[in-house]
Amino acid sequence: MSYPGPHFDSAPPRRRPRARTVALAALVPGALLGWLVYEAVGAPGSGTDGAAARPSSTAAASPTGSTGSTDPASPSATAGDDAKKPGAPSPASGSGPLKGKTVVVDPGHNPENVRHTAEINSKVDIGTNWKECDTTGTSTDAGYAEARFTLDVARRLRTLLEEQGATVRFTQDGDRPWGPCVDERARIGNEAHADAAISIHADGAPAGDRGFHVILPASVHSGSADTRPIVAASAELGERIAGTFVRVTGSAPANYVGDGTGLDTRKDLGGLNLSTVPKVFIECGNMRDSKDAALLTSSGWRQKAAQGISEGIVSFLHGS
């Protein structure tokens, strides 16, 4: 999500924030084991897909036994082909541990933002200050866009959550010409009275910066922003997602933010500042690093990412 250019919600200069205690018994051992596999083969659980992210005109992503698009850079490979078509309504939730729960999923950016720069560069009030409505997002060196990645993972996540009985609502499903702006993204979760909300992203940090991190809302009370009622619940949600993401994907917490906890707290993101329901962001990996890009372009790994996020949400909502 953070990358050069006039983009909304870009990350502040890299820093070493105060480390947060994050269910270390679950997170750190899994992170160390996952990191060893991560370094050794590049794409855990994806067969020969670890070599897929070499800078080229296309990026192959066809892990053994995986489903979905085989070439994320191909125009015919739309995000989440094997999950749900764009704009399809969420079916009524069935039975399961999340029956009666509502989850709002926010696929970061929009594939069409690039065609609407004037609209997404307009400023909106995020409480602490004014920021751009949205951004285009980042991409891998081979051209696989963050906005396509986020839609694919979001659609996979929706399927998994609905199987658990949840009602799932998207902020956008590739069915809008651009946006929505960050204030509307937050408002969708608020008006749905979501039990949990998550915004899905991939980072655009320098090559060599690797791993995932979950962004938590800081305590903000300024203008229209007041996160104080949701800070504690959001932190619990983020900690649970970080722990399950490590275990399911085999990826390690980011080596460039969060002091190895996989958690970062920020007050400059409108989608968090304006939320009145428990909400976090997840940066699933760094698109500008070739090893992380090999994972992000793998259909099999994206399914694992969705599974890891889903299990964290289920744990949070089910109280287990």
* Active site amino acids: 283
Please say whether the beta carbons of 22 and 253 come within 8 A. no
User: Six-digit token pair at 270?
Assistant: 């409108």
Longest Cα–Cα distance of the chain, Å, equals 51
The CA-CA-CA angle for residues 243, 59, 107, to 5°, reads 45
Please say whether the beta carbons of 214 and 262 come within 8 A. yes
Residues sharing a CB contact under 8 Å with residue 221, sequence separation 6 or more, in sequence order: 227, 228
What are the Cα distances from residue 47, in Å, to 51, 149, 283, 300?
10, 20, 23, 9
- For 137, left (φ over 0), alpha (ψ -120 to 50), or beta? left
Rounded Cα distance between 307 and 164, Å, is: 12
Rg over CA atoms, the chain: 18
Rounded Cα distance between 250 and 160, Å, is: 19
Any idea what DSSP says for residue 113? G
For the CA atoms of 290, 291, 296, 298, the dihedral, rounded to the nearest 10 degrees, stands at 110
Neighbouring CB atoms inside 10 A of 40's CB total 9
Rounded Cα distance between 220 and 162, Å, is: 32
SS3 (DSSP) at 125: strand
